[in-house]
Amino acid sequence: MILTVTLNPAIDKTYTLPGFKQGSVWRAQEVRALPGGKGLNVTRVLRTMGVRVRATGFLAGHNGRWVQSALEEMEIASDFVWVDGETRLCLTIVDPDNRMITELRESGPTLNEHYLEKFRAHLASLLDQSKVVVFSGSLPPGLPLETYRVLVDDVRRAGKRTVLDTSGEAFATALCAHPDIVKPNRAELEAWWGRPCSSVADALGAAQELQRKTGGWAVVSLGEDGAVLCSSRGVWHAPALTVKAVNTVGCGDAMVAGLAMALVEDRDEEAALCLATALAASNAEHPEGGIVDPADVEEWAKKVRVAFVGGRSAGEREMDHGTTGDGDRYWRNQCRVSSS
């Protein structure tokens, strides 16, 4: 089972407003509401792909009760720690005419170290049935910046594998706990590296440095430049797929879901990057984040072309995993969905 940790969940409400401009009164053409926050987007993708998953984190107030009820309706298992305050509300305004997206995000309830210690005990009680733990999203106000470092360290000491997707000081601080996979986007990688990554080559250099820092996989989503994956075995690049994107919110979360699936099944780097890229493409076709279609994911995976950029020789890699090939072969041989 995969356990997702969302410390700062939300109600994600999406308004579709063709031709949206500031300073006017608008009536939404379409309104959708889903349990949100990056970790719950990951959870929803995993559940859709048939993977056993459980969600945890903090919930509060009326909004928190709505999130829990909505997860139950989706048949998603959850076990949250309840805190004072109110779970946040985040708004996304999608303008399909101009292909513009505007996001308005609340901060969430203010917590403290007491809640962190309470959550550490709660998390420990959920690890027996979990093989992989995914940490995604921002920290609630008041939690120490070392929160993810502490939690990742706890999980790894328990012998479980970890995926980390956050940003800023919380991200930088957690790296010394050696998460198995980190997945920054370009802006998050630049903030950590302290230099711009204007090309794929720049991103590869920064990702390799990040990989050496953690010892695991460093996966970077680069938007129109695709994605790169660095491991101790080498470096891979998947060019972006040509997708008629409706909404790019949640594409990174869909990638994280694919990487977590790869960890559960002990898949190799090529297969992981293939599946993650296909999931992101499917997410982009939907108005809300964290929504994919398994049939579309399979079709997109056939179109992914993962290029080995450098590292161990092709002969050494073939001895480990068999001859690599195009996305269609990756999907058939590597990217099958497990119920683990």
Q: Please say whether the beta carbons of 45 and 14 come within 8 A.
A: no
Angle at 147 between CA 69 and CA 269, to 5 degrees: 80
Q: Write down the pTM of the prediction.
A: 0.88
Q: What is the pLDDT of residues 118-160, one digit of tens each?
A: 999 999 999 999 999 999 999 999 999 999 999 999 999 999 9
Q: Choose, from 253, 296, 326, 328, the residue flagged as catalytic.
A: 253
> In angstroms, rounded to a whole number, what is the distance separating the alpha carbons of residues 161 and 214?
13
The domain spans of the chain are 2-21+29-333
323 CB-near residues (< 8 Å, 6+ apart): none
Based on the residue annotation, tell me whether 95 is a catalytic residue of this protein: no
Question: pLDDT digits over 249-260, tens only?
Answer: 789 999 999 999
For 57-98, how does the pLDDT look when each residue is reduced to its tens digit (9 = 90+)? 999 999 999 999 999 999 999 999 999 999 999 998 988 888
- Neighbouring C-beta atoms of residue 93, cutoff 10 Å: 17
Q: What is the CATH number of domain 2-21+29-333?
A: 3.40.1190.20
Secondary structure of residue 124 in the 3-state scheme: helix
Provide DSSP, 257-296. Answer: HHHHHHHHTT--HHHHHHHHHHHHHHHHTSSSTT---HHH
Model pLDDT for residues 295-338, shown as the tens digit of each residue: 999 999 999 999 998 875 344 444 344 334 444 443 344 333 33
Report the DSSP pairing between strands 81-82 and 307-311: unpaired
Q: Quick one: average pLDDT of 35-41?
A: 95
| Per-residue model confidence (pLDDT) at position 111 | 97
Provide the pLDDT for residue 99.
Answer: 82
Predicted confidence at residue 312, as pLDDT, reads 55
